[in-house]
Structure 1
Amino acid sequence: MKPLYILVLSAFLPFAVAAQEAPAVPAFAPLNAAEVTLAEFLWLKRPIVVFADSAADPAFITQMEMLAVDPAALELRDVVVVTDTDPAAKTEWRLKLRPRGFSLVLLDKDGEPELRKPLPWDLREITRAIDKFPLRRQEVLQQQPAGR
């Protein structure tokens, strides 16, 4: 009977090792607006653009902390975070979106602004807003069609 236990336990050993490995958690890596263009993300990603007049702006710091809470939720929705804290740089993002002071702008994959906020927004509110975008709804339906 003892050899049977050893055989059964050895059969499940690879599963135990795999279960102990921590799942890969995506890193939160915001991109600088001066280094990327909107065209790079067109139809591929949903940019969330966080504007401020300075990186020391309390609203900017709060917003970045809120976005860093759950990078997996952003990755699930194909979100990329772009930051612009230098008004003098006149980046493509600033010229297109024309922010004043702190501003949070959610764009869809087609490059069009869907939502603008003058104050920091919680990650839960952001993901709920993205889930209401027409393109996001279409993606969810394609991934999980009814009747399956």
Structure 2
Amino acid sequence: MKRLIPFVIIGLIAAGAGAETIAAQDEPPIFQPANEVDLNVLLWKKRPVVVFADSDFDPAFIEQMELLEQHQDELRIRDVIVLTDTDPQARGAMRLKLRPRGFMLAILGKDGRVKLRKPFPWDVREISRSIDKMPERRREIRERKEIQGNIIQ
């Protein structure tokens, strides 16, 4: 019986990893236009990172999107959804709520509140650190460690 325990643990860990891969495939795309997303639907599920610019050709917007696209896995781990708005004339709900002037990066918590605003592009490492300091994220990390501890015991 004792010989089976390591195999059972390895099987559970492997099954969990497979489930995460399947879940990631079923999730909506990480990048979406802000005007197609209702923030109320995201409450307590996702952390919106909203990128505003006055044009798709804004150099700061282009740089920010490249930075975000390079590290999608880091964002996905933190339940981030990246919303973009490059049309000030459309006056979308997100733009009216956050009132950007030119380029702006805004990080919202799962509670829908603005946690951080930046008028220049930010690296995913900086975004991740900022998110990891949020109380809700700390709770998620703590709970994941408790679950992993229970599986190993």
TM-score (normalizing by structure 1): 0.79
More off after superposition, 130-139 vs 23-32: 23-32
CA contact (8 A) 2:32 2:83 kept: yes
For residue 109 of structure 1, what is the aligned residue in structure 2?
110
Distance 2:29 2:121 in 1: 17
Aligned length: 126
- Indicate the percent of aligned positions where both proteins have the same amino acid: 54
- CA deviations 1:83-135 (Å, max 9, x no partner) are 00001111111111111100000001000000000000011111111100111
Q: What amino acid maps onto 1:58 in structure 2?
A: P
For residue 61 of structure 1, what is the aligned residue in structure 2?
62
For residue 52 of structure 2, what is the aligned residue in structure 1?
51
Distance 1:132 1:145 in 2: 19
Secondary structure of the residue that 1:34 maps to in structure 2? helix
Q: Is 1:121 equivalent to 2:104 in the alignment?
A: no
Distance 2:38 2:88 in 1: 16
RMSD: 2.2
For residue 84 of structure 1, what is the aligned residue in structure 2?
85
For residue 38 of structure 1, what is the aligned residue in structure 2?
39
Distance 2:30 2:134 in 1: 24
Secondary structure of the residue that 2:66 maps to in structure 1? helix
| Structure 2: segments with no counterpart, 5+ residues | 1-20
| Structure 1: segments with no counterpart, 5+ residues | 1-22
1:28 and 1:122, CA in 2 relative to 1: closer, same or farther beyond 3 A? Answer: farther
Deviation at 1:29, TM superposition (A): 4.4
Q: Structure 1 residue runs of 4+, over 4 Å off?
A: 23-29
Distance 1:63 1:28 in 2: 17
Q: What amino acid maps onto 1:68 in structure 2?
A: E
Q: Which has the higher helix share?
A: 2
**Larger CA Rg, structure 1 vs 2:** 1
Secondary structure of the residue that 2:140 maps to in structure 1? helix
For residue 137 of structure 2, what is the aligned residue in structure 1?
136
Q: What amino acid maps onto 1:75 in structure 2?
A: R
For residue 99 of structure 2, what is the aligned residue in structure 1?
98
More off after superposition, 25-34 vs 123-132: 25-34
TM-score (normalizing by structure 2): 0.76
